[in-house]
Amino acid sequence: MRNYPLPSSLILLCVLTLASQCLYAQGGASIVNTKHNLSVTGPGPIKIAGETEICKFCHTPHSANPIAPLWNRRNPGTYYETYSSETMQATIGQPTGTSRLCLSCHDGTIALTQTYRRSKPIPGTIRITAADAGHVGTTLSDDHPISFGYTTALAARNKQIRNPTMLPAQLPLDHQGRVQCTTCHDPHNDNLGHFLRMDNRSGRMCTSCHNHEGWNSSSHATAAASVSGAQRDKWDNVSYKSVRDLACASCHRQEDSILSLCNCFNGSVYSDLLIVSRLST
């Protein structure tokens, strides 16, 4: 669990206890117009009627569990199916740190209102269900691996990842040097969509950590063709549609399946390749 230095905790305490103008001036300022505003004023489809406070779904000024950063979520105690593969060098265990807190809503097992501090409980039983866009579920084996140490030793074993000392400031590891949900997502800020910390156009975010030799000159990094028709629906969340802009996301989707091949060669992107595949069947 991340241990916040005292000043940060104090700021949070201030934010949670003082008037709203103080609140908007701090870290949570931009959360108001996002799906993480679960109060009655929230813009998203999932919110709690009658609840006016925003921060308390995740933070509490008193009796927090665990203490930093003043968390107010119950631990659902879920067992997760984690990512595994033959090529992966890091060992993946059960989720730790802030990832557990994200999952306490996003695995869909307990209600959004299951907060730790119960003296003034939030009413309602709404949870994220499999039908919702934000559902991650308990199967993490098809999502990007999390809760493992991204160390210099790991980069020495796997030449296709960069040395973690070179990571851009936008992609923070936790205080134990682990990749968590919060490495790629900032729960307070949805300016880039999907609460992402970095725009992933041309695979910029992926290639901040992954270093595939020959990638930059490959056809998947340079092709201007647009994915079209039914294929487009897979990327309805982004404004760009070309193979080179989608880059890694042409083939790898994060929360869907880390590898969901797009079937570009069925003619939806390159019709000549469709003819080739027809001839060969």
48 scored as a contact of ligand HEC (CB under 6 A): no
Q: Which residues have C-beta within 8 Å of that of residue 87, sequence separation ≥ 6?
A: none
Reading the block at residue 33, the tokens are 């117009």
2 scored as a contact of ligand HEC (CB under 6 A): yes
Nearest residue relative to ligand HEC (C-beta): 28
- Cβ-based neighbour number of residue 119 at 10 Å: 7
Stretch that binds ligand HEC, among 22-30, 116-124, 225-233, 269-277 (CB under 6 A): 22-30
Give how far Cα 113 sits from Cα of 58, 97, 188, 231, 270, Å: 10, 20, 18, 37, 48
- Cβ-based neighbour number of residue 89 at 10 Å: 14
Report 175-204 residues binding ligand HEC (CB under 6 A).
Answer: 179, 181-185, 187-188, 194-196, 200, 203
Report 158-177 residues binding ligand HEC (CB under 6 A).
Answer: 158, 160-161, 171
Residue count, binding to ligand HEC (CB under 6 A): 86
Q: Please, what is the minimum distance in Å from the beta carbon of residue 116 to ligand HEC?
A: 11
* DSSP structural state of residue 122: P
Three-state SS at 115: strand
Q: How far apart are CA 245 and CA 226, in angstroms?
A: 9
Q: Please, what is the minimum distance in Å from the beta carbon of residue 263 to ligand HEC?
A: 11
Q: Please, what is the minimum distance in Å from the beta carbon of residue 166 to ligand HEC?
A: 10
122 scored as a contact of ligand HEC (CB under 6 A): no
Nearer to ligand HEC, 21 or 119 (CB): 21
Nearer to ligand HEC, 8 or 226 (CB): 8
- Cβ-based neighbour number of residue 275 at 10 Å: 11
Q: Which of 250, 247, 259 is closest to 221 using CA atoms? A: 247
223 scored as a contact of ligand HEC (CB under 6 A): no
Q: Please, what is the minimum distance in Å from the beta carbon of residue 262 to ligand HEC?
A: 8
Nearer to ligand HEC, 36 or 227 (CB): 36
Residues in the chain: 281
